[in-house]
Chains A and B, each alone.
Chain A
Amino acid sequence: LSKKKSKKTGSGGKRPSRQTTGRPKLLRRQMKPPPPRRTLVPSALTVPRWLMRLVQAHFWLLMLTVGVGTLQTSLRGGAVIPGWPGSFQSPWIFCPLTQWFGHWDVFAAQSHRLLGYGVAVLLAVVGVQLFRRPKKSPLLRSLVVLLLMMLVGTAVVGGLRIRLDDRMMANYHALASTLYLIGSVALMEKMRIVAPEDSRQIRRPETPEGMRWAKANRRLLILAFFGLFSSCLQVFAGVQMRHIPLDAAPFWFMVWIWTHVLGAILLGGLMAVTAWRLSRLKSFADRHLRHRGNWLWGLLGLQALLGVSTWVLHYNWPLWFYRGVYPAIYTIRDCGFFQVWATTLHVVFGYLVVAVFLSVVFRLRRRGRVTLPVDKK
């Protein structure tokens, strides 16, 4: 948006400083906050393309880090690098190459650590860019600082697996990284590029048709929000299953596994309905939402397949299946190729479901609040 347009819409004009208003302090406090300004495209923040790409790279590097960390757990290598915060009696992250490339579990663990540092570096670069112009983007600035703190906290908790109770720390590490993932998606969505065609034609939802549109958008938003909540619950249940304390009663594992299975059915339904509703959005401006709908379809299929595979590869076929349906005689292979990769991909795609739902929630929220796109024709 041009500076001129921003001034007109009120979103970008220079705010009068508090010192110059001349009102007494007490009176200012009693005053109601001004209503949120209606802007044509309030979040149409034109981000430098390279910075946006950097934030996107940060997200995908994070996904890779999560994937390698999951691989590490799948290989049962949660605490394989002794001597934290050092590595095999070497200082800090300088793991001896013979160890790093000597065993798969150490390879995954060390790579996970290095990728984590990569994520931190990218985030720091983004943060520096945001801080270069102070007092201009407090939300993003705060978000980056929060993310940086979360990243440090997550890394420390991950390292403490070696020093303290492995399972409990792994649990916290996984949950903290989920929160970090959510934060990084939020950062990406807040800095998204708004293509010019998105904001070219705008119609406010004041007509009956517009009201109907807004209502439909709200319904879709609620649906996506439930999807987000459900996917977070799934991640939570999955983490509890993977890192259940060894002295936990068997009952609790059953609670988590059935929560995960029933949650998967619920989430599958929500994914299907959300993806179907998103695919019905015809406007050109909604193409990003349609893309996310396609992502949800794809992830739904993959997760159903990987979920069943993960069960069979870890716990074998259920009794009712091989007694009543087909006598599938299978012997589980511990740390076998399929077991490791099916589980790892199941977890990674689970995180991706959270990210896609969160992105959809952000975009639908913005869409409902801001504009009514019109078909390009």
Chain B
Amino acid sequence: MPEDSFWRADSASRTGRGGDFLFGKARFTVGLSLLLLMTLGCGREATEFRLHYGGRPREEVSTLQEKAILETLREDFGTPDRPKVPTEVTLDLERIERAAGPGGRNFEGETVGLYRRYCANCHGISGDGAGPLALLFDPYPRDFRDGVYKYTSTYSGAQPLCEDLDRMIRQGIPASGMPAFDHFTSEEMDALIAYLKYLGIRGMTEKYLVMLVVDEKEYLPLGVDVHEMIEEDALIPVAEQWEMPELYPEEYRIQIPPPEVLETPEQLAASIARGKELYESKRTQCVSCHGPLGRGDGENSRDLYDIWNKPKKGVTESQTERLAEHYRLPLQRVRPRNFHQGLFRGGSRDIDVYRRIHAGIKGTPMPVAGTTFGVEGVLEPKEIWDLVHYVKSLSDKRPDDHELEASRENYESGTRD
């Protein structure tokens, strides 16, 4: 019977013994012990926010000071797993709680822990832009704690509107590590935006507290008067900064006058020529960074840093190296845009480029050119439009006349985004 040779299995004949491979040896015990060892130390990790040193070398803040700052913040803002909202802040705690904590679903089937599920890999649990994947990207992921967002529809110095954050999250940022999360429901998006605001308000309060404790040598443990100071000097103003643009969007949103109607190619060419003149003029100083041909190779282009990297830059190279030890991410420079590639991270429509020129790119060396909160800018709206047309004309992928027309129609019909 052919089966017999099979049932006379081979281990006995191989080893020459009748011993059992598994049970006859201590291997079973060893294997089981190893499996048990694997499960040791697997408790739920106690997630905490990492301290925001506010651009200071880490050793400037003592352990005692760090502990006092974090404890004070924990009282007001809770932890990443169990966030709290101070009474002075008008944020929806329910939404924040939905975005915080470990990722998954609750018993009703709603997604919870959105931030950790979708964002923390790059932006980190603390929102410091130094998650495990951060080093892979250029530019690094955004540090939410400063509340500074590059591409917004608001004036320079103003916090972004919810719709700005919504657009950035839904559309992503091209040629960067920021994906388009177009699968979020509106509830999920609201929860996530509330959490980003929470991180921003917490981050700015933390920055103030670090300044108070480290620079002004506030005595530890922090007393009741310090809590009042935090409320008055940090918490309330910061919370207002976030609330005001939502309450008065028309005042905070960049006012964009309609572009000149360009009916013929000659009119467009004339606008482009005016834009070129402005581009090369000393008034705008575009050439110094973007280069004479708009290839991003201006004479200043090699030494530009955003606000998140500037503190890492020393005067000498060795200083920079020493400073790098205090940060989770090394120094990374900003590269001015090469317009010939047709890449505009904040959006490639005319209206997006207009906003970038008008309000600059927040946190970067790209300056403000338009009138901001009554302060006269270096360029008039018409001039900004000319510059927009010139910049877009440099791109190999510049929109054709039909697209320009569509863009104008979008503007006129009020669908700005």
- Determine whether the beta carbon of A11 is less than 8 Å from that of B180: no
Min CB distance A342 to B, Å, is 14
Cβ of B14 < 8 Å from any Cβ of A? yes
How many residues of A are in contact with the other chain, CB < 8 A?
88
Min CB distance A333 to B, Å, is 5
Interface residues of B in 69-108 (CB under 8 A from A): 102-107
Min CB distance A46 to B, Å, is 4
Cβ of A304 < 8 Å from any Cβ of B? no
Q: Which residues of B contact A249 (CB under 8 A)?
A: 132, 328
Q: Which residues of A contact B283 (CB under 8 A)?
A: none
- Determine whether the beta carbon of B174 is less than 8 Å from that of A245: no
- Determine whether the beta carbon of A142 is less than 8 Å from that of B174: no
Most chain A CB neighbours (cut-off 10 Å) among B14, B23, B42, B105? B105
A82, A146, A315: the one within 8 Å of B106 (CB): A82
Q: Please encode chain A, from 127 to 163, with 1 for each CB lying within 8 Å of some chain B CB and 0 for all others.
A: 0000001001111111101100100010001001011
Interface size class of B (residues with CB under 8 A): 35 or more
Min CB distance B128 to A, Å, is 11
- Determine whether the beta carbon of A164 is less than 8 Å from that of B16: no
Min CB distance B52 to A, Å, is 15
Min CB distance A249 to B, Å, is 6
Cβ of B373 < 8 Å from any Cβ of A? no
Q: SS class of chain A's interface: helix, strand, loop or mixed? A: loop
Q: Which residue of chain B has the shortest Cβ distance to A247 in the bound complex? A: B125
Q: Please encode chain A, from 291 to 335, with 1 for each CB lying within 8 Å of some chain B CB and 0 for all others.
A: 000000000000000000000000111010011000111111111
- Determine whether the beta carbon of B3 is less than 8 Å from that of A172: no
Q: Please encode chain A, from 96 to 113, with 1 for each CB lying within 8 Å of some chain B CB and 0 for all others.
A: 001100110110000000
Most chain A CB neighbours (cut-off 10 Å) among B104, B134, B341? B104
Q: Which residues of B contact A330 (CB under 8 A)?
A: 174-175
Q: Which residues of A contact B277 (CB under 8 A)?
A: none
Instruction: Give bound CA distance, A145 to B23, whole Å.
Output: 10
Min CB distance A41 to B, Å, is 9
Supposing A250-B130, A316-B175, A334-B180 touch, asked if A79 and B11 sit within 8 A by C-beta, the answer is no
Q: Please encode chain B, from 107 to 137, with 1 for each CB lying within 8 Å of some chain A CB and 0 for all others.
A: 1010000001110110011000011111111
- Determine whether the beta carbon of A81 is less than 8 Å from that of B4: no
Cβ of B414 < 8 Å from any Cβ of A? no
- Determine whether the beta carbon of B8 is less than 8 Å from that of A136: yes
Q: Which residue of chain A has the shortest Cβ distance to B80 in the bound complex? A: A246
Q: Which residues of B contact A33 (CB under 8 A)?
A: 15-17
- Determine whether the beta carbon of A81 is less than 8 Å from that of B105: yes
- Determine whether the beta carbon of B7 is less than 8 Å from that of A133: yes
Q: Which residue of chain A has the shortest Cβ distance to B41 in the bound complex? A: A168
Q: Which residues of B contact A35 (CB under 8 A)?
A: 16
Instruction: Give the interface segment out of B31-39, B147-155, B201-209.
Output: B31-39
Cβ of B329 < 8 Å from any Cβ of A? yes
- Determine whether the beta carbon of B44 is less than 8 Å from that of A254: no
Supposing A78-B103, A246-B116, A334-B179 touch, asked if A253 and B174 sit within 8 A by C-beta, the answer is no
A48, A162, A190, A317: the one within 8 Å of B3 (CB): A48
Min CB distance B181 to A, Å, is 5
B8, B16, B44, B104: the one within 8 Å of A80 (CB): B104
Cβ of B182 < 8 Å from any Cβ of A? yes
Cβ of B212 < 8 Å from any Cβ of A? no
Instruction: Give bound CA distance, A149 to B21, whole Å.
Output: 15
Min CB distance A65 to B, Å, is 20
A42, A81, A246: the one within 8 Å of B10 (CB): A42
Cβ of A64 < 8 Å from any Cβ of B? no
- Determine whether the beta carbon of B132 is less than 8 Å from that of A46: no
Supposing A244-B132, A246-B116 touch, asked if A162 and B104 sit within 8 A by C-beta, the answer is yes
Cβ of B173 < 8 Å from any Cβ of A? yes
- Determine whether the beta carbon of A331 is less than 8 Å from that of B136: no
- Determine whether the beta carbon of A11 is less than 8 Å from that of B8: yes
Instruction: Give bound CA distance, A36 to B137, whole Å.
Output: 58
The 4 closest A-B pairs by CB, nearest first: A137-B9, A139-B11, A142-B22, A332-B179
Q: What are 16 inter-chain pairs, A to B, with CB distance below 8 A? A: A3-B1, A11-B5, A45-B5, A48-B3, A79-B103, A99-B109, A137-B8, A138-B20, A140-B9, A164-B43, A172-B42, A176-B38, A250-B134, A253-B132, A322-B175, A327-B341
Please give 9 more A-B residue pairs, beta carbons under 8 A apart, in addition to A1-B5, A46-B2.
Answer: A33-B15, A35-B16, A45-B5, A48-B3, A246-B125, A247-B125, A331-B172, A331-B174, A333-B180
Give B contacts to A, CB under 8 Å: 1-24, 31-32, 35, 38-39, 42-45, 47, 102-107, 109, 116-118, 120-121, 124-125, 130-138, 171-183, 328-329, 338, 341-343
